[in-house]
Structure 1
Amino acid sequence: MWWGTLGTIRAYPSFHPEQDVKEIQSALEKKDAVTLVRILTNRTNVQRQVIASTFQEITDKDLSTTLKKVLSGDLQDLLLQLLMLPEHLEAQRLQQAMVGLGTDEETLLEVLCTRSGKRLQEISDAYKQRYKKDLEKELKAETSGDFAKLLVALLKKDNMTAAVHRDVQTLMVSLNGKKADAEPWINILTSREWDHLDKVLLGLELESGQSVEQVVEKQFSGDVRLGLRVLVQCIQGSDVFLAKRLATMKTSLVHGIMVSHSEEDLLRIRTTFLKLTGNSLYSALQNHFKGEHLQALLSICRAED
């Protein structure tokens, strides 16, 4: 953390894209995965974009397409994600969460709850560019009811000021009927700054005598309960939610979270992972993965805690 970021990947100080491309060309010819991993996991996304464009200029070939021909399996997937623009990676994760049979609600919530309104607009634009479809319409088509309203409200996050006490009372009133009214929860939890929401949630706990998660579990059901629970967890600390997701050691989740948070807050997530599981993320990766794929993940993780 001494270099001023909570990410594990920082700008490579002696960056020479032409030299990197030369080494990558040689590695691709020899199918040398070790060199590809060493370079691509030790450059920031901005630097990787420069490498990709330089590779295109020198070879007249697309780097991602060339990697697909040389690599396969989980290592291929991970390195291709590293080469994507951050907003395009998140757009891909959302699309994959909705494609095929069933919907991966937790991945939708992970992206929508942990990203700012500005970032989500960039992701929406990338989604339209990649898939020629409107993300909001896709979310509405794949979900329904209050859960769909929650997802759309998260996608269109807006920050407005409001009195903490008024918000607390509004949420308390929403719980008074035979069935809890989700709409005030959606409106408030997706349209306030998070430091304001921290105070609102604390006030709600004092008023109700229960944790907010307990209130949500008792008062709501189905997908909207899941959505509100994840949103509350992210407001209180997204690193806890993300560390729990990583603890599943599911390959797609490990890739998505580690790549997309590698330059932002993976150090914080690592610390939380250790507190939650009693095991470091570095060691957990060693226990679940192997080969060059493992080495790439360890390089992104960076160190033992």
Structure 2
Amino acid sequence: MDPEYFKSHEMCWGTLGTVRPFSNFHPDRDVMEIQTALEKKDAVTLVRILTNRTNAQRQVIAKTFQEITQKDLSASVKKALAGDLEILLLELLMPPLEYEAYRLQQAMVGIGTDEETLLEILCTRSGQQLQEISAAYKQLYKTDLEKELKGETSGDFTKLVLALLNKQDVAAGVQRDIESLSTSLSGKKADPGPWIDILTSRDSDHLNKVLMGLELEKGQMVDQALEKKFTGDFRLGLQVLVQCIQSPDVYLAKRLTTTKTQIMQRIMVSHSEEDLLCIRAAYLKLTGTSLYTALQKQFKGDHLQALLAICRSED
């Protein structure tokens, strides 16, 4: 553990992220060390520096590296390393908005669509963040994110993801929303409209009251009602959205229990400066094992050391 990390704790008291600003930050010095490490293919040094700086500090390092060496840092990392570690360090070097845009693009590229990754991002990001991610997506991929989502989805699921992408808080009465959702489930065929309209246009406090009220009225858990009344991608979409309204930390912790390297890594990078401490706590409660210990069982070598550095400590 880098001793500078503990000094930075005082600077960011109250942060819910695990990666904090490096207090004794000297980008020129970092660049010199990185340059030597790249020449020697010294992964240990690269991991030590890049996992102990915030994304903003990594952007300064990348800019300084370009000025001093006339080379692109990401391209240089790609030449020096390979495999999962190379991918992880390249992801750490992406600016946050570009990274979320990249994750969305990766979920839609090629054969098949990774619906749950689309939902994860759309359900855990605010309306403002999603507008900024959309702008980054257009700049990176020269196409509209909304258009891409339309092309990759269908039916009510399309309506849901587009409503999530353009979400905004609208004032409404809790009881009226409970009645609308309850009525939508009463017929032989459930009406998806109120679920899309209400769950994508209210704040989380309001929606938690609505969901609790609906459970009391129906006498069953909301996820059970959704399981019975809806099908396919739309049902998955509502289930993920409800979980994220109730507790995004628990939902993301569940996602981290997957054995897929890509999913675990991307959630950790994406949330390392925001709320990974909360996700870690939810993971421990959910599985009985700390995320730090779980990583050691699944990964090895320099890639493991990089993931542990992002996770930061045992719970």
Bucket of the pairwise TM-score, normalised by the shorter protein:
over 0.9
* Structure 2: runs of 5 or more not aligned: 1-8
Distance in structure 2 (CA, Å) of the matches to 1:288 and 1:176: 46
1:97 aligns with 2:103: no
Amino acid at match of 1:186: I
RMSD (Å) for aligned C-alpha atoms: 0.9
Give the aligned partner of residue 18 of structure 2. Answer: 8
Distance in structure 2 (CA, Å) of the matches to 1:111 and 1:259: 13
Amino acid at match of 1:276: L
Give the aligned partner of residue 237 of structure 1. Answer: 247
Amino acid at match of 1:197: L
SS in 2 for 1:160: coil
Deviation sequence 1:57-84 (CA, Å, 0-9, x none): 1111110011100011100110011000
Offset at residue 209 of structure 1 (A)? 0.6
1:254 aligns with 2:268: no
Give the aligned partner of residue 201 of structure 1. Answer: 211
Amino acid at match of 1:91: A
Amino acid at match of 1:162: A
Of residues 53, 74, 77, the one that matches 2:84 is 74
Give the aligned partner of residue 310 of structure 2. Answer: 300
Deviation sequence 1:69-127 (CA, Å, 0-9, x none): 00111001100110001111111111111111111110000000000011101111111
Deviation sequence 1:1-57 (CA, Å, 0-9, x none): 872111000000000111110110010011000000000000001101110101111
Distance in structure 2 (CA, Å) of the matches to 1:167 and 1:87: 33
Give the aligned partner of residue 5 of structure 2. Answer: none
1:133 aligns with 2:157: no
Distance in structure 1 (CA, Å) of the matches to 2:15 and 2:167: 25
- Structure 1 stretch displaced more, 2-11 or 84-93: 2-11
Distance in structure 1 (CA, Å) of the matches to 2:286 and 2:237: 22
- Structure 1 stretch displaced more, 175-184 or 20-29: 175-184
Deviation sequence 1:263-298 (CA, Å, 0-9, x none): 000001001111111111001100010100000000
Give the aligned partner of residue 226 of structure 1. Answer: 236
Give the aligned partner of residue 62 of structure 1. Answer: 72
Superposition pairs for residues 76-225 of structure 1, below 5 Å?
Answer: 76-225=86-235
Amino acid at match of 1:160: V
Superposition pairs for residues 28-39 of structure 1, below 5 Å?
Answer: 28-39=38-49
Of residues 47, 58, 83, the one that matches 2:57 is 47
Deviation sequence 1:171-218 (CA, Å, 0-9, x none): 111112221011110000000011111111111111111111111111
Offset at residue 241 of structure 1 (A)? 1.0
Structure 1 stretches of 4+ with a deviation exceeding 2 A read none
SS in 2 for 1:157: coil
- Structure 1 stretch displaced more, 146-155 or 244-253: 244-253
Amino acid at match of 1:302: R
Distance in structure 1 (CA, Å) of the matches to 2:132 and 2:67: 27
How much identity, in percent, do the aligned residues show? 71
SS in 1 for 2:247: helix
SS in 2 for 1:103: coil
Offset at residue 249 of structure 1 (A)? 2.9
Distance in structure 2 (CA, Å) of the matches to 1:255 and 1:116: 22
Deviation sequence 1:224-247 (CA, Å, 0-9, x none): 000000000000001111111111
Of residues 252, 274, 284, the one that matches 2:294 is 284
Amino acid at match of 2:22: Y
Of residues 22, 31, 34, the one that matches 1:24 is 34
Offset at residue 137 of structure 1 (A)? 0.7
Amino acid at match of 1:134: D
Amino acid at match of 1:33: A
* Structure 1: runs of 5 or more not aligned: none
Distance in structure 2 (CA, Å) of the matches to 1:298 and 1:176: 49
